[in-house]
Structure 1
Amino acid sequence: MKNRQLAFFVVMLGALATLPAPALAQDEAVRRSWGAQARAEMERLAPLAGHWQAREYDSDRQDGWTGGETAYAVTIRYLLDNMALREEAPERPVKPWRLETTIQYDQNRNVFRLVAMDDTWGNLDVFEGVMDTDDRLTITNLRVDTPYVGDDGARTHFRLSITIADNDHHSMLIESSPDAGETWQPFQRIERTRLGS
């Protein structure tokens, strides 16, 4: 079976190689038209791409914030012909874990979806939400129900609100919910400034 599949793949590659350039360009135009809405929505996130200096602030649960003394570098880049945006895991993270996130737009459900992967918990987390007219993307992991589960069985969901201030600044407010989104409390805030600006 595998040999037959390989032979078919080789034949298809050969067939593609014989197509005239205008036919290949037409196929490319058709492919790009399939994701036109997703491509347009992902373009709204273009100010997030680049190299950033980030500072994290933790909530003290009394409407105040602590931290922010240590700055670290973050790289966010487009991939898959600008159909996805990935924040790369740093080689030397500030914290003892590494986290990588990727955002795409689902044009079938009209939502942005962020997937977070890590090297510590192995909890592939999925967030969904929309971007408002104030350039704020708000996403939660409620629908897919991927909360952090504590040793005592307590379930904590998260909401991320990414606000694009301008091309050189954006922030992310992370809120937590112990009751499946009935209430939200501030958890962490991340402020980013473009490097070289």
Structure 2
Amino acid sequence: MMENKVFLSFTFYSTILILKMYVVAIITGQVRLRKKAFANPEDALRNGGLQFCREDPDVQRCLRAHRNDMENIFPFLFLGAIYSLLDPSPTVARIHFLLFCVGRIIHTFAYLLCLRAPTRSVAYGLAQLPCFSMALQILLATTPYCLTTARCRATCLKKPAGILYPAHRAWIHLLDTLLGLLESLKCWHKTGGLQTQFSPKGQSSPYATNT
């Protein structure tokens, strides 16, 4: 696994993001102490009395920043780990991870320092772009297997005489069309040019069936 350059890049940027979450948690605790706004009565009693068991806008802002990190970084950890197994270009993968990491760091600064809008929104959108890209590539890589499995199961559902039910025939044709479309999208993704046909002229689709 450590020989996989993409996974190494993913591990590096993921660790930075996890450390950033720890830093936000520490900042939240420090803001609680400075503002004397505690969530638990025992903490308030230790630091002045039950009157300090209260909410504070600055503490709530830190908590929202931390919650936003969890809502976005945890999905990235899943998508990035799966994406690393697809053998993408190390340079392209590094750009994906770097964009997300930079976007999340800027988002945290904008949240904690109350930077003027739309700084936080722009940073949020920047970090979402590589996530959507990785999710799309994962779907392109895994959907053909799922569709092929579904097609094989549909083909096995035959009448005793070996004739397909009309609904199964339509389902198989739909799956063949989807598989061909996915092949075209994969070719477009790899070459940068949209293929005009699902298969070369004179050759049948690998998913064609005699029904």
TM-score, structure 2 as length reference: 0.24
TM-score, structure 1 as length reference: 0.25
- Highest Rg: 1 or 2? 2
**Greater strand share, 1 or 2?**
1
